[in-house]
Structure 1
Amino acid sequence: MKFSNSLVGFLNFLTLLLSIPILGGGIWLAHRATTDCEKYLQTPIIIVGAFLLAVSLAGFIGACCRVNWLLWFYLFVMFVLILVLFCFTFFAFVVTNKGAGEALSNRGYKEYKLGDYSNWLQKRVTNTKNWNRIHSCLIDSKFCQNLAMDNKTSSEEFFAKDLNPIESGCCKPPESCHFTYQSPTVWIKNSSTTNGSNPDCNAWSNDPNALCFNCESCKAGVLQNLKAHWKRVAVINMIFLVFLVIVYSLGFCAFRNNRWSNARHRPQWKPYA
């Protein structure tokens, strides 16, 4: 067996093994999910697991058993995947180019404004259906619980904290509201100093299940977090694209080997003398 066939078969065997726990995890989540956040994750996990399983089987059988039509299908799917990943990586860099935190005087954390981010990202997050899911995930994950447990933290200590974007946007009111600090997740509204032009000031609640989860600052914090993740994913995708191109080239060599081998072993017709 040619080297390219062996290597493609080996790589797809590894991917096949990887797809089994991914698919199993998605199925398990589908039966055990109790929150909207978990239910939202189950479908993409099952799709990714099933896709990897099908493509890996096609590549493994096509390369090792010299089934040319399966290898052709494998190469076609790989080409589409490379094209999609390239487009997504380029798109991710474009839509995450805008938006950054605003540094505040005498504060260890930054604040984030929704309008600073790309219109496409804003529309995805502010969409009612999408935000309800994100909101549910934030509550289910008890994202602000660590701050709430620090109820003995003084105002000076809290203002010096390096909060992450979601903690800054969702777990406390915006700085412009000028609320009086009581604890990290409890603030007293002061009508004489509250910024009436900022709707987040009215949206704030000391209820641990509400806080600023419906604030624009919270959506901006989610976008900043999403932007950071997308940039990391885009860099990983670039590395993965190089790997996929190499595997695709090996798969194409294996496809040619199969055709050559099939042609060599095909019985030749000879006319009767």
Structure 2
Amino acid sequence: MRASNHLIGLLNFLTFLLSIPILGGGIWLSSRASSTDCMKFLQWPLIIIGVAIMVISLAGFAGACYRNTFLMGLYLFCMFFVIAALIGFIIFAYAVTDKGSGRAVTGRAYQDYYLQSYSGWLKERVASESYWAKISSCIRDSKACKKIAVAVNGVPETETMFYSRKLNPIQSGCCKPPSDCGYTYVNETYWTVASGLVGTNTDCSLWNNDQDQLCYLCGSCKAGVLASLRHSWRKVSIVNIVILILLVIAYVIACAAFRNDKRIDNDEPYGEARMTKSQPSRLQF
């Protein structure tokens, strides 16, 4: 029994430490939201789950070390819902980021992004007019497109150099026109066309060399945000899966330890009664 309590105490201390990456994942997504995709509705579930695991793990650690059945019972009750919430969050994150990816472009190191490649709840939320106004404003304020410009020894990069760069989804989708529009490169965020638009992509007519507009109204920009979200969520979900496995192991062992505690507590009065009853007979003898 003592070994079981020590083990559950150790596992709870471990889950307390491992809750830090969950909390850190929420903070990391928050920092990315302020500088790139500006999507902040994912960070709070992660932060809440991380804080909950910290507090519950401390309760389980104290209950195991001091054999406090109330704390152990509270730990098991609360941890069940935390595990269920974490499972639901992982399933949700994978479900809403299941489809969609960039498309390779001939002669380019970067990919182009198209809104029609995505579907489902996340696409509808990002593409909604009211929500996109906030996202595009946030991307504009973060100056993500101004950061795309680079220079080599003080000389602006050439067209060939630009085409050989691996742009992130936000840079590719929001800061330049789609490759199939036929625009000619002048610099990273300034493009011209000589004889009308070549492509039939609706984003071609939405591109504007005004640095406050660029392609922020384009479907490619929305698709770039979705691609950035997909990449970020998948990274965080991998960490969450590892922590979920450890939490389930700790929960199973905690259940066994709690049952042993209850069994010993129930057996103690019986054992004490037998000792009390047998002690006078030994004295009289």
TM-score (norm 1): 0.77
In structure 2, C-alpha distance between the alignment counterparts of 1:253 and 1:136, rounded to whole Å: 53
Matched, 1:58 2:59: yes
**1:252 Cα deviation (Å)?**
0.9
Letter of the 1:239 counterpart: V
Equivalent residue, structure 2, for 1:263: 266
1:144, CA displacement in angstroms? 2.5
1:90: how far off? 3.7
Deviation per CA, 1:60-104: give whole Å up to 9, x if none: 222222222322222233222333333443444444332222222
Q: 2:182 aligns with which of 178, 182, 195?
A: 178
Structure 2 stretches lacking a partner, 5+ long: 278-285
Q: Which of 257, 261, 275 in structure 2 is aligned with 1:254?
A: 257
The answer as to 2:127 corresponding to 1:123 is no
Per-residue deviation, 1:112: 1.2
- Structure 1 spans left out of the alignment, 5+ residues: none
Given that 1:9 and 1:64 are in contact with CA atoms closer than 8 Å, whether structure 2 keeps it comes out as yes
Aligned to 1:6: 6
Per the alignment, residue 156 of structure 1 pairs with: 160
Secondary structure of residue in 2 paired with 1:187:
strand
CA contact (8 A) 2:150 2:157 kept: no
3-state SS, counterpart of residue 99 of structure 1: coil
- Match of 1:181, SS state, is strand
| Alignment match, 1:104 | 105
Counterpart CA distance in 1 for 2:8 and 2:141 is: 42
Question: Is the contact made by 2:49 and 2:82 (CA closer than 8 Å) also made in structure 1?
Answer: no
Q: Equivalent residue of 1:106, what SS?
A: coil
Contact 2:15 2:243 in 1 (8 A): no
**How far apart, in 2, do the equivalents of 1:231 and 1:17 lie?**
22
Post-superposition Cα deviations, 1:29-88, rounded to whole Å, max 9, x if no partner, equal 9xxx9xxx6987885576345423431232122222222232222223322233333344
User: Which of 1 and 2 has greater Rg?
Assistant: 2
RMSD: 3.7
**1:123 to partner: Cα distance:** 1.0
Q: Aligned pair count?
A: 263
Contact 2:15 2:246 in 1 (8 A): no
Shift, 1:15, TM fit: 5.0
Change (3 A) 1:229 1:43: closer
Residue aligned with 2:136, SS: helix
The amino acid that maps onto 1:232 is K
Can you list the C-alpha shifts for 1:213-251, whole angstroms capped at 9, x where unaligned? Answer: 232101111212222333333433333332122111121
Task: String of CA shifts for 1:134-193, please: whole Å, max 9, x gaps.
Answer: 334433443223322447111122122222222111111112332232101112355x42
Structure 2 Cα separation of the partners of residues 158 and 65 of structure 1? 64
Task: Please give the residue correspondences for 1:14-163 in structure 2 after superposition, counting only pairs within 5 Å.
Answer: 15-16=15-16, 47-48=48-49, 50-150=51-151, 152-163=156-167
SS at match of 1:69: helix
